[in-house]
Amino acid sequence: MHRKIFSTGKVFPPLTTVLILYYYVFSLLTFKPVPRDWKGNKDCASQLTINSSTASASTPFLSWTQKVFFMTKKIMDNDDIIRAIRRMAHEIVEKNKGIENICLVGIQKGGVVLARRLASEVEMIEDTHIDVGALDITFYRDDLNTKEEQPIVKKTDIPCTINNKTVVLVDDVLYTGRSIRAAMDALIDFGRPAQIQLAVLIDRGHRELPIRADYVGKNIPTSFNDRVEVFLEEKGKKDKVVLVSGQ
C-alpha cells in the first residue's frame, strides 16, 4: 500500500523506511573504528601513536583500512634500521674489545642479510675484515611434523673454523627462542666456540626457552597472534619492520 505525497504520480515508500535508510547510510559514513593497539585491545589508544606518523599521515584511507582489517603498522623505517644496526655494531666491538676473534653467523634466512650488514658496519668501525657465515637450522628444528608446509633447506656456509672463537649468532626476530636453540645445536656440530653471543634486530618477547639476546635493535611488545615482518636488503634502501596483528 503506497501513499502519493506529491501529485507527480511517483510512488514513494513509507516515511519510516526513508528515515531508517537515511540513518543507516549516515551511520556508515560517520563510523569511526574504536581505537585498538596492534594487540587488538581496545582502550590502548596511547600505544597506537608510537611511530604511527609514518604509517598513517600520508595515506589516511589506507591506514584506516589497515587498522580495521589487517592492523598493520610500521615499527621501524629505513633510517631507524640503519641506526639500530650501527649501534649494535658498536656494541659488538665494545663488548668484545675489538673484533679479533669474532665470527658473525646469520641464521637462514632472515639473519643472513642482517649479519652481512652488521659485518660491514663493524668493518667500517674497526677497519679490518670480519668473517661472516650463514647457518641453516632446518635439520635441527623440533617442529618437522607439526608444520603444514614442506621444509625448504637453505645453504649453510661457515667460512672459518669456529673453534675457540666468539661466534655472534644473528637473527632478525627473537620470539620463542626455539630457532636459537636449534642454531646453537647446529653450530656446535661445527666445532667448539669459546663463546656464543646473540644479536637480533627485533625482540618481540614470548620466550619459551631460557634464551636472551646480547644485542637488540628494538624491543617490541607484541601479542601471541601478531606477526613481525622484517624487510631487509643488502643495500638497505626500502627496509622496514612491520607488525601485523592477528585477530
Query: From the CB of 195, what's the least distance to other proteins, in Å?
Result: 20
The Cα–Cα gap between 240 and 134 comes to: 22
Residue type, 173: V
Query: From the CB of 145, what's the least distance to other proteins, in Å?
Result: 7
Q: Which residue in the block uniquely carries the three cell numbers 582502550?
A: 43
Does 237 engage in binding with other proteins (CB under 8 A)? Answer: no
Please give the angle made by the CA atoms of 98, 101 and 104, to the nearest 5 degrees: 90
Choice from 87, 116, 141, 240 touching other proteins (CB under 8 A): 141
Does 14 engage in binding with other proteins (CB under 8 A)? Answer: no
| Element housing 116 (H / E) | helix 110-126
The Cα–Cα gap between 88 and 31 comes to: 44
Choice from 136, 171, 203, 226 touching other proteins (CB under 8 A): 136
Does 140 engage in binding with other proteins (CB under 8 A)? Answer: yes
Query: From the CB of 233, what's the least distance to other proteins, in Å?
Result: 24
Measured N-to-C along each axis, helices 110-126 and 78-95 cross at an angle, to the nearest 10 degrees, of: 60
Query: From the CB of 238, what's the least distance to other proteins, in Å?
Result: 29
Query: From the CB of 189, what's the least distance to other proteins, in Å?
Result: 4
Choose the binding region for other proteins from 120-128, 150-158, 206-214, 223-231 (rule: CB under 8 A): 150-158
Sheet holding 240-244, edge to edge: 72-76, 240-244, 227-231
Does 190 engage in binding with other proteins (CB under 8 A)? Answer: yes
Toward other proteins, which CB reaches closer, 178 or 218?
Answer: 178
The Cα–Cα gap between 239 and 170 comes to: 17
Which residues contact other proteins by CB under 8 A?
A: 136, 138-141, 144-145, 147-156, 185, 189-191
